Amino acid sequence: MNDAIILKDVQKRFGDKIAVNGLSLNVPAGCIYGFLGPNGAGKTTTLRMILGIFYADSGEVTVLGQNDPTVVKERIGYLPEDRGLYDKMSLADLLTYFAELKGMQRGVARQKAYSLLQEFGLGEWSDKRCQSLSKGMAQKVQILRTLIHEPELVILDEPFSGLDPVNRDLMRDMIVDLKNRGRSVVFSTHVMEQAEQICDSVLLIDNGIKVLDGSVADVRSAGGRAVRLDYDGDGSKLATLPGVAGVNDAGKQAEIFLKEGADSQRFLSDLVASGIQVRRFDLTELSLHEIFIRTVNGGTEVEGRG
């Protein structure tokens, strides 16, 4: 099987609103695939059709080789955006329960629960109630309940939402580890930088319509080039320099888009002469964030955009 997921011209409507409109894509098996777009773009609706929670009004949804996703639900792990734990249950009981829901025998499930908790540094908490956990520990348990039955396909809806930097790194490392162990991982996010770091391929969706998709390398290489700058000084000067078409300025870091034919070395010279202290200067491909903004805006650039 070359593709874990195939969608062909899928549409989903809620009343008068079309949430997903004519969406087609292929998710290769064994890759990390990102569903990217702003809130309300149709990401969660698409994931729920892949899971069989919603059925498409039209089009085809194929998951792990089956046209009915519910047939393969025991081979899928799902972490919803709105998640929580049963406070009164112990960690071991909780993981055992979710493993049983996925078809594991109770004895095997319980043994696996204790093993996973030990492996991820929660062994001494195994018989304690979920309500006693810190936020970081609770996040670990939520991930483990998704993975305890060793699913082939893992679907994570906004997995980085609300996490502090330490737990964002934990989530990132677990996603990469899943791929390294041959799993297929699909996750949604509205933060492009997260996907850019770890995804093999991405879908960019807006208002239920596919904007573009493909490997991260292909998407970025087709987008053009920019200067990535780490700097100290007055960032308002950046947009006024010769040859600059637009600026995406975050305060100490900026992505700068040069006009057609502009000389990057001349720009660097003008930058230094302006009094801005340059800490890093890289000529690179556009970020996924900028590609998405340009595509949604019909290719227009916003002068001095911050």
| Averaged pLDDT, 89-100 | 94
**59 and 32, same structural domain?**
yes
Share of residues in the chain with pLDDT > 90 (%): 61
Inside any domain, residue 164: yes
Number of domains in the chain: 2
pLDDT tens, residue by residue, 180-215:
999 999 999 888 888 888 999 999 999 999 998 999
Closest alpha carbon to 5 in 201, 250, 196, 150: 201
Q: CA dist 172 to 16, 155, 199, 249, Å? A: 37, 14, 10, 26
pLDDT tens, residue by residue, 268-279:
999 999 999 999
Please check the confidence at residue 163 and state whether its pLDDT lies above 80.
no
Band (pLDDT 50/70/90 cuts) for residue 43 is very high
Q: Which is higher by pLDDT, 221 or 236?
A: 236
Identify the CATH number of the domain in which residue 41 sits.
3.40.50.300
Question: How many Å apart are CA 243 and CA 15, to the nearest integer?
Answer: 49
Structural domain ending residue among the three candidates 161, 191, 214: 214
Structural domain ending residue among the three candidates 214, 234, 251: 214
Q: Residue 14 is part of which domain span?
A: 3-85+133-214
| Averaged pLDDT, 124-136 | 89
